[in-house]
């Protein structure tokens, strides 16, 4: 399953995309939308992830209001970064669970891929919040970094382990076959919301070719 991640677009453009996709992540930290527009966006007939990362000019209270509005309006998942305060995480989880929404607890490292021990500790901490899915996204500086990200699939279920950057692209392709519930894609080549993100059309073509090869070898 592919989730199209979108940001840096207008409200109207977001509506158009949502109405033509089955699964979309809305990066609210990259969008300039009002509370009423958030209500409209998350009321659409589409599986939606509400994500609002920390930004310098937005307070935690503002982010809480936006995420709670998304939850109330129909978000299927809400993604909360583990680097938020315990109070922030717990408040979002409490609100989401009361609405029967699913929780993604995520960890991001835009500089490197930490050690195996560090990653395991992070994942355990994420699961301690009763996450439905844990997402780990780390920048890959060397191809060997991918091994540590792949290794997480051996120990955990309902985990998405992603390598960011050009050298981490393989994780976005292999993750589904290793057990990830879904993978992220950009809508187009120039619209990525994370380093190394692959556009949806390219991913579909890759998966189709992999399926063709599998069928030929069966």
Catalytic residue among 47, 68, 135, 200: 135
- Tell me if residue 108 is catalytic: yes
Cα(161)–Cα(179) distance, integer angstroms: 10
- What residues pair up with 3 in beta bridges, in sequence order? 184
Catalytic residue chosen out of the listed positions 30, 39, 97, 108 = 108
Instruction: State the DSSP H helix or E strand holding residue 154, giving kind and residue range, or none if neither.
Output: helix 145-155
Write out the E strands in 30-167.
Answer: 47-51, 77-81, 102-109, 133-139, 159-164
Question: Known catalytic residue: 135?
Answer: yes
Q: Token pair of 152, please?
A: 């997480």
Residues 6+ apart with CB under 8 A from 79: 25, 49, 50, 51, 104, 105, 106, 135
Residues belonging to the active site: 108, 135
């Amino acid at each position: 399953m592919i989730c199209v991640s979108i940001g840096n677009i207008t409200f109207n453009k977001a509506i158009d995309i949502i109405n033509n996709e089955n699964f979309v992540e809305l990066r609210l930290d990259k969008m300039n939308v009002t509370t009423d527009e958030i209500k409209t966006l998350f009321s659409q007939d589409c599986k939606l992830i509400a994500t609002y990362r920390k930004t310098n000019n937005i307070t935690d209270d503002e982010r809480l209001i936006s995420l709670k509005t998304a939850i109330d309006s129909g978000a299927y998942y809400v993604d909360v970064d583990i680097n938020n305060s315990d109070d922030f995480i717990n408040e979002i989880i409490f609100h989401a669970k009361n609405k029967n929404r699913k929780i993604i607890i995520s960890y991001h490292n835009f500089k490197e891929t930490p050690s195996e021990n560090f990653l395991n500790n992070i994942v355990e901490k994420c699961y301690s919040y009763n996450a439905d899915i844990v997402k780990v996204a780390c920048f890959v500086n060397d191809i060997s970094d991918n091994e540590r990200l792949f290794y997480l699939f051996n120990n955990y279920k309902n985990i998405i382990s992603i390598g960011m950057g050009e050298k981490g692209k393989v994780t976005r392709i292999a993750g589904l076959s290793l057990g990830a519930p879904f993978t992220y894609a950009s809508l187009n080549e120039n619209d990525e919301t994370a380093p190394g993100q692959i556009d949806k059309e390219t991913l579909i073509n890759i998966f189709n070719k992999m399926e063709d090869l599998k069928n030929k070898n069966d």
